[in-house]
Amino acid sequence: MKGKYTRTKKFRLIFIIVFSLMIIDFIGTSFYYHHVQDFVEGQKQDFKADAAVLFFGDHNAEENDIGPDSKNRAGVALRLFREGKVKNIISVGGYAKDFSEGKPNYMRLYFEKHGVPDSLLFSDSLSFNTITNWREARKIIQRENFTSIVAVSAPLHIYRISGLLDFDTVYFCSYQYRLQTFNDYLRLYADVHHEWISYVLSAIFKGELRNRVVFRYRKFMKRFD
């Protein structure tokens, strides 16, 4: 009887610990999300820049097209172009050729379909994470002598990259999350934790080692798509 009572106490203790951690995690996720939303909403809107730097998001492999998140990002860049706030659009996030062939052209095709002249569109085919995205974007910026840019990405991502872009004149722009279904909230929960993991990886791994780790991880995860 005493052994059974001890096991019950241990189970209750484990349950309390796990439940408490879940509550803390939920509160942390909620706080971080609202902090990011405040950051996005507080960004300057009356700007003009030489180019929008658009960071690639998801893609639809079955239809060889950009995914919902990427369309939201592209929609922001397209709106900025039509409003005259940016003159050019740079799309980055092509990955390596043997990893995801064709992705560098997805964004370009999207903008061409919506009437943006090809001469105002730029893209890379080498980058595979946020660090390499920016590295390749800088090459294009320097080559074209752009002096001001606006970074465009998902809200959570734009908050993280705001501390990475070493450029004199840079603005940040994103879209608003539409949280209507349980899956929307579940996706947001997963995205917040993805950002946290990215912060940790950036702190642990540096330089090319970090790039190789991220590349191999994403190549491995692609097997489960």
Structure-derived torsion over alpha carbons of residues 177, 56, 203, 221, reported in degrees to the nearest 10: 100
Tens of pLDDT, residue by residue over 197-214, are 777 777 777 666 666 666
pLDDT (mean) for 148-163: 93
Whole-structure pTM value:
0.82
C-alpha 6: how far from chain center: 48
Of all residues in the chain, the percent with pLDDT exceeding 70 is 84
Give the CA diameter of the chain.
80
Tens of pLDDT, residue by residue over 44-92, are 888 999 999 999 878 777 777 788 888 999 999 999 999 999 999 999 9
pLDDT (mean) for 153-180: 91
Q: Please state the three-class secondary structure of 108-131 as a single string.
A: HHHHHHCCCCHHHEEECCCCCCHH
Helix, strand, or coil here: 210? helix
* Fold designation for 43-173: Rossmann fold (3.40.50)
Concatenated DSSP letters of 33-73: HHHHHHHHHTS--S--EEEEEEEP--EETTTTEE-HHHHHH
Tell me the one-letter amino acid at 124.
Answer: D
pLDDT at 40: 92
Q: Is the pLDDT of residue 177 over 50?
A: yes
- Boundaries of every domain in the chain: 1-42, 43-173
